[in-house]
Amino acid sequence: MSKIKEFFGDKRFFKTVFKIAFPIVIQNGVTNLVGLLDNVMVGNVSSEATSGVAIVNQFMFVFYLVTFGAVSAAGIFTAQYHGKGDVENVRATFRIKTVICAVAGVIGIVLFIFCGEFFINTFLTETESGIDLQLTLTLGKQYLSVMLWGILPYSLSQAYSSTLRETGRTVPPMAASSAAVAVNLVLNYTLIFGHFGAPALGVRGAALATVISRYVEFLILAIWTGANKKKCGFIAGAFRSLRVPPALVGKIAVMGMPLMLNEAFWSLAVTVRNQCFSTCGLDAVTAISISSAVTNLFSVVYFSLGSAIAVMIGNLLGAGETEEAKRTDKKLLIFAVGCTAIVSCILAAVSRAFPMLYKTSDEVASLSTYMIIVFALVLPFDAYATGAYFTLRSGGKVIFTVLFDSVFMWVVIVPAMLLLSRLTDIGIRPLFAIGTGLELLKALLGFILLRRVNWAVRLVKDPNGA
């Protein structure tokens, strides 16, 4: 009882959590809400448009997470250097992020140009659903050809937004993202259907709206940060040179490569799992697109609290307060699971309403509802697993995050899905339930690792901050 009183009576804890997490929740929530509305708009063009866009976004998802992983290692040091008050090395981590994001963007563009059609074809399976595979391929290629132009501004935005969040400036990324999604929403309505005198561009219009919004977000972040050098000390002189301490580059490279590979292999595992679902037909692909757009909106709570864990715990470790970091982490994990349990109940309650917004068959609507309910059941466990991931990462335990995240996916979930989808006649409903339900084991693994691994490690001990 005393522990419960201590938890709910800690006003300072809740004030800090809301200060850091609330803007991130708003940012991610607005982004995913517009993503849902975009999905609904495309879904009202045709089932082929929904499937084509969904398939391309599967591979964009891989790229986004690889970029996230690439900047994550530098972000660990950014948070700890900020907690230590070392502005010079925060600036160095920002420079490293900028270079990493630029290189990742160029590689992503080249890869999608030469391999885009092959990627889309891996999801196209002949069934009796009545969906035109060739039209789906054509629309997917049209969508991808425009989306390529938004990759570079998206990548560079990550360098700014992650550094601002890790230094406690969570409102500017929220504002930039909100402005971008507002632009995206208006342009989607205008360009997909041809309103206000604009041509009806369909999936090309959806992609063009997204690309323009990427530039809006990047420009807002870059201009605001540059105009607020007193609040963002790291930006002063950040581009006078690209020189960074070699020792810091080495440390980030040692942590960065596993994290980048982890995000790459984890997102590829998710893509392979979804490809296994697609062997049940394009109805499954469309249903996954609908259910994912909805569940992503409800997932922002626990993912945003995970980001708050990375910032708060990283700052405490950088300041040398390891015991306080451990206590705070326990509170954050409890808070994340509790909030997500409430969100899970709401999601299950409204699961039937969302598929009705789409122009699709009764079977796809029913399947989408089923997937949403299954996801709602595992949501609190995903919240704990996500919190455990960010906790381990904040102390630099990247090998354990890799074992916990991508290795688990490839050793447990992917083999199970491949065997069931290729060697049995199992239907999409039980296949989806098993593929999603196996994530419960990941939460258990996270619990074990947090108890067994000494994750509360200060990484910025040297006098020169290297």
- Please write the tens of the pLDDT for every residue from 326-376: 888 888 898 889 989 998 999 999 888 878 877 777 888 889 999 999 999
**Amino acid type, 333:** L
Under the banding of pLDDT at 50, 70 and 90, the label for residue 238 is: confident
Under the banding of pLDDT at 50, 70 and 90, the label for residue 398 is: confident
- Residue at token pair 């074809």: 121
Residue 463 included in any domain: no
Q: Which two tokens mark 336? A: 């994340």
32 vs 38: CA distance, rounded Å: 9
Measured at the CA of 297, the angle between CA 11 and CA 208, to 5 degrees, comes to 130
Contact 28, 303 (CB under 8 A): yes
Contact 135, 70 (CB under 8 A): no
| Residue 243, Ramachandran bin (φ over 0: left; ψ between -120 and 50: alpha; else beta) | beta
Contact 53, 42 (CB under 8 A): yes
The tens digit of pLDDT for each residue in 115-126 reads 888 888 877 766
340 vs 335: CA distance, rounded Å: 8
What is the overall mean pLDDT for the chain? Answer: 82
pLDDT of residue 317: 84
Under the banding of pLDDT at 50, 70 and 90, the label for residue 7 is: low
Residue 39 included in any domain: yes
Residue 466 included in any domain: no
Above pLDDT 90, what percent of the chain? 18
Alpha-carbon dihedral angle through residues 64, 260, 100, 304, given to the nearest 10 degrees? 50
Give the distance, in angstroms, between the CA of residue 31 and the centroid of all CA atoms in the same chain.
Answer: 11
pLDDT of residue 190: 92
179 vs 40: CA distance, rounded Å: 20
The tens digit of pLDDT for each residue in 132-190 reads 778 888 888 999 999 999 999 988 998 998 899 888 887 888 889 889 888 988 998 89
Average pLDDT over residues 408-431: 90
67 vs 103: CA distance, rounded Å: 10
Please give the model's pTM, rounded to 2 decimal places. 0.70
329, 26, 42: which is closest to 173 by C-alpha? 26
Residue 457 included in any domain: no
Q: Which domain holds residue 359?
A: 2-452
Residues in the chain: 466
393, 327, 392, 310: which is closest to 83 by C-alpha? 310
pLDDT of residue 463: 46
Query: Which residues, other chains included, contact 425 with Cβ-Cβ below 8 Å and sequence gap of 6+?
Result: none
Residue 378 included in any domain: yes
The number of domains in the chain is 1
Under the banding of pLDDT at 50, 70 and 90, the label for residue 465 is: very low
312 vs 327: CA distance, rounded Å: 12
Query: Which residues, other chains included, contact 136 with Cβ-Cβ below 8 Å and sequence gap of 6+?
Result: 48, 51, 52, 55, 124, 282
Residue 132 included in any domain: yes
Residue 293 included in any domain: yes
Above pLDDT 70, what percent of the chain? 91
Average pLDDT over residues 90-102: 88
209, 202, 193, 155: which is closest to 34 by C-alpha? 209
Residue 461 included in any domain: no
Query: Which residues, other chains included, contact 154 with Cβ-Cβ below 8 Å and sequence gap of 6+?
Result: 64, 67, 105, 214, 217, 218
